[in-house]
Amino acid sequence: MTEFITKRVGNIRNDVLSGITVALALVPEAVAFAFVAGVDPLVGLYAAFMIGLITSIFGGRPGMISGATGALAVVMVNLVAEGNAMGAAGENLGLYYLFLTVMLMGVIQMLAGVFKLGKFVRLIPHPVMMGFVNGLAIVIFLSQLGMFTKKVAGEKVWLQGTELFLMIGFVGLTMLIMWGLPKIKATKKLPEALIAILVVSAIVIFGGLDMATVGSFIREGGGEGLKGGFPVPVLETFTKIPLNFETFTFIFPYALILAAIGLIESLMTLNLIDDITETRGNTNRECLAQGGANIITGLFGGMGGCAMIGQSIINIKGGGRGRLSGITAAVFLLMFILFASSLIEQVPIAALVGVMFMVVIGTFAWSSFRIANKIPVADLIVLILVSSLTVIFDLAIAVIAGVIVSALVFSWENAKMIRARKRMREDGTKVYEIWGPLFFGSISSFNEKFDVKNDPDNVLIDFVESRISDHSALEALFVLVEKYQSAGKTIKLKHLSEDCKVLMYKASDKFHNVIIEDVDDPRYHLAANPEAFPKPLNEYKF
């Protein structure tokens, strides 16, 4: 009992400390993505709080962090701009169109959960997963390079001289602390990211060093600061935007794209966390939680969001495993907005960049270099393709392209596996024994196996080592039977699976005279009904 309580208390401590670290790292990310989308920083921060809190409580993956993300923000740019153009100058209709779109996005995501579409993420091949994490690691790295710039006369220029050296030095110090702290036995259980942020912040603040901070970053982007109140429903959305078919046709394409990107990023991050923690999350429950969170976020004036791989990795590496870690991150983020905005604005950007660089190192699948010459060329191409498309376009396009290419490669390889062994019986019947899957890709090769003109009057096609996979295969069999019967020859089909026979009988009554039902072969019955043969297959005499 004592050991059980100790483990629980230790986990609570890790969840809380890790959650505080995540909350600190969420601030500049949420602000940056709000600027990308062209909205006020508080819109991003409110989204990070509400989505983070709701998905932590109701989501399908404890320990996963959700909030405002760059993948969604880049889509929102055009939505906000087009929405603003529909109203008068200064009316900012784009913001209200965004809120309405986020709510519709949430409805679509909840429907995905209701119809249990989350399970299809399991169909994503491993090379696509590796390309996904590599591409996101590169995207996170590139997003941090903007922190090495400053505005001069309205234009962004790279830091130079002392400013650049200080920035690089403190980024390096943050990374060094995070790398070295776990190696010291006495400090092994301390949250290295939080300690690194506190140490670097103390040096900069008490040393009076002139460096970029969270506050200066917000003001440089046009914001007034982190200070804000508790989020309340933005009912103006329903009065400023006409709720008619024209509005629906405008926001629906954006909502559909945002919902797809949000679910793909969330479910793939869920899979990644599953692999790291060696546990399994609930994909359909995550779809429902993400959808519900976005509906509420849009209603309360947030920009919407999804799972964040960077912050999720920070949380997991910091020991956050339970729902409490995400709840803590969300609550502390709200506390920062309400009560501690002035303190958080003093945190140097260098400390947060250092944390994110360590996330990049931890996220990137370095093993992909080691196995590059050991995996099939097609898988390597898919890995590189997904990584590149994630960087160039967005995650949704990259993953969809990767899955399509993988599916085409799989179909091509399986199409070459169809085989036919031919033999003659003593009664003059020619037997074709088919091996391999019969589907749309292998139809052409399958048809080449038969010689209708020169075959004898009786032909038997044996499918004991094959399976009819789709409608194209059924149509090919139908055409083949027609050819033999038109030539005045008798054709029989043997060892077809039960589901295939049902489909063929529905297609045409003539198959009742073609398919052999009475089959005395244990191999066939074992495939159709395994319970009929309780002993191992090798114990039966065929």
Is residue 348 located within the same domain as residue 216? yes
Is residue 313 located within the same domain as residue 180? yes
The pLDDT tens digits of the residues spanning 164-222 come to: 999 999 999 999 998 998 888 766 666 788 888 899 999 999 999 989 988 888 888 77
pTM of structure: 0.74
Cβ(228)–Cβ(42) below 8 Å:
yes
Cβ(170)–Cβ(355) below 8 Å:
no
pLDDT at 526: 46
Is the per-residue pLDDT at 538 higher than 90? no
The stretch 41-57 carries a mean pLDDT of: 93
The stretch 276-283 carries a mean pLDDT of: 89
Is residue 87 located within the same domain as residue 194? yes
CATH code of 535's domain:
3.30.750.24
- Cα(82)–Cα(510) distance, integer angstroms: 60
Q: Which residues pair with 435 in a beta bridge?
A: 419, 465
- Cα(87)–Cα(401) distance, integer angstroms: 37
Tokens for 250, please give them: 């405008």
pLDDT at 412: 87
b/e per residue, 487-503, with b = 16+ CB within 10 A? Answer: eebebbbbbbbeebbeb
- Establish if 488 belongs to a structural domain: yes
The pLDDT tens digits of the residues spanning 449-477 come to: 999 999 999 999 998 888 888 889 889 99
State the total domains in the chain.
2
Q: What torsion do the CA atoms of 251, 256, 257, 261 make, to the nearest 10 degrees? A: 130
Is the per-residue pLDDT at 119 higher than 60? yes
- Establish if 2 belongs to a structural domain: no
The stretch 410-427 carries a mean pLDDT of: 88
Is the per-residue pLDDT at 71 higher than 70? yes
Is the per-residue pLDDT at 524 higher than 50? no
User: Between β-strands 490-494 and 306-307, what pairing exists: parallel, antiparallel or unpaired?
Assistant: unpaired
Q: Where is the domain boundary, 383, 407, 431?
A: 407
The stretch 311-321 carries a mean pLDDT of: 88
Q: For the chain, what is the mean pLDDT?
A: 86
- Establish if 226 belongs to a structural domain: yes
Is the per-residue pLDDT at 374 higher than 60? yes
Q: Where is the domain boundary, 377, 407, 437?
A: 407
pLDDT-wise least confident of 189-198, 218-227, 491-500, 527-536: 527-536
Is the per-residue pLDDT at 541 higher than 50? no
Is the per-residue pLDDT at 530 higher than 60? no
pLDDT at 106: 97
Is residue 332 located within the same domain as residue 300? yes
* Continuous segment of H or E residues that includes residue 436: strand 430-438
Which pLDDT band holds residue 306 (cuts at 50, 70, 90)? Answer: very high
Domain limits for position 470: 416-539
User: Between β-strands 66-67 and 155-158, what pairing exists: parallel, antiparallel or unpaired?
Assistant: unpaired
Angle among Cα 74, 78, 84 to the nearest 5 degrees reads 135
